[in-house]
Amino acid sequence: MKNKIATPSATKKILREHNLNLKKSLGQNFLIDSNIIDIITAAAEIKGDEFIIEIGPGIGSLTQAVLEKLKSGNMLAVEKDAAMVEVLEDIFADQEKLALLNQDALKIKWEETAAKYNPENRKMKLIANLPYYVTTPIIMGVLESELELEQMVFMVQKEVGERICAGPETKKFGSLSVAVQYHMQPEIVHQVPASVFIPQPDVDSVIVSLTPYEKNIYQEEVINRKFFFQVVKSIFQQRRKTLRNSLSKSAVINLDRDLVTQALEDEGIGLKKRGEKLSISEMISISNRIYEMKE
C-alpha cells in the first residue's frame, strides 16, 4: 500500500472495503493524522536495523510508517482482533519484514516471543497507540518481563501519561509513576487532541517515551522488589496520612508501629512527612530499612 493509511479518507475507505465495525470494547480509535505518526516514529529514533514490536496495530497506520523506516530490521505487530489481522494480512501482503501475531498483548510471554521473532538479537524497541482500557497492565507487563528495550514510545490517555511521568510533591505522583520510573525514564513527547482519531475518543492523549537509565540505581538498590512495591502501595493508598500512619496501618503489609518509627528515624525521615512527598530513592531506603529490621 503506497498511500498513507493515517488520513481520514484512506482510513474510512479501508473500514468500508473490509466491512469493519469498530469495537469500542477493544479501544479501536484509529489515528488519521500522519503528523502524529511522524512524531511517534521520530521519538522512537528508528535507525532501520532494529526489531520493532507494535502493540495494537489496528489497520496499520503506524505499522506502515515504521516499515518505511526499517531497512535491514524487522517488525512484529500484536493485535487481539482477528478481523484487524485479516485486514493487515491483506494490506501488508508483500511485506516480508512484518510478522503478525493475533494475540492478546496481556497474555504474551514477551521474552519468549522476542526470542522467536528476533533470533538475530537486534536492538529492540516498542511502539504502540495503546487501547486505553488496558494501557497500564500492558505497559507493566512489558516492563516487568525484563525484555531489554532500547526505547518504548506509546500513546496513552493524557491523564495516564501525566501520572506515569509525575514526580514527588505533585498530585499525580503515585504508584504508577513509581512502578514505571523504577524501570525506565519517562517523558511526555507530545500532546494529542481527540480530533486526530476516528472515532474520536472522549479524552485527549499524550505520546510518552520511555528510555532506559544509563545506570538503574533503583533496581540496584532495592533489596526485595515485592516488599518495596508493597511499601509504595501502602504509602499511596493513604497518601494524605503521615508516613508513619500509612505504613503502620497499611492494608497491604502488616508492620509494627515501633518498627516503622525506628526505620524512619534511622533513615532521617520525619515521622510526620507525607509519603507522597518522598522521592523514589527515599522510598527505597525506607523499604530496605524496614525489610532488614523485619528479617
Task: CB nearer to ligand SAM: give 59 or 178.
Answer: 59
Does 41 interact with ligand SAM (rule: CB under 6 A)?
A: no
Q: Which of 64, 81, 231, 284 binds ligand SAM (CB under 6 A)?
A: 81
> Which residue, chain included where needed, has cell 518522598?
278
- Residue 215's contacts (CB-CB under 8 Å, 6 or more residues apart) are none
- Does the annotation place 56 within a ligand binding site? yes
Task: CB nearer to ligand SAM: give 24 or 116.
Answer: 24
What are the phi and psi torsion angles at 57 (to 5°)?
-70, -20
Task: CB nearer to ligand SAM: give 7 or 242.
Answer: 7
- Least distance in Å: CB of 160 to ligand SAM? 13
Q: Which of 20, 46, 134, 192 binds ligand SAM (CB under 6 A)?
A: 134
Does 78 interact with ligand SAM (rule: CB under 6 A)?
A: yes
176 with 160: CB under 8 angstroms? Answer: yes
212 with 185: CB under 8 angstroms? Answer: yes
How many Å from the N-terminal Cα to the C-terminal Cα in the chain?
Answer: 61
- Does the annotation place 288 within a ligand binding site? no
Task: CB nearer to ligand SAM: give 196 or 280.
Answer: 196
CA–CA separation, 231 and 251 (whole Å): 11
CA–CA separation, 186 and 19 (whole Å): 38
- Does the annotation place 118 within a ligand binding site? no
Q: Which of 41, 118, 129, 285 binds ligand SAM (CB under 6 A)?
A: 129
291 with 262: CB under 8 angstroms? Answer: no
Residue numbers at the binding site for ligand SAM (CB under 6 A) = 26-31, 55-58, 61-62, 78-81, 84, 104-106, 129, 131, 134
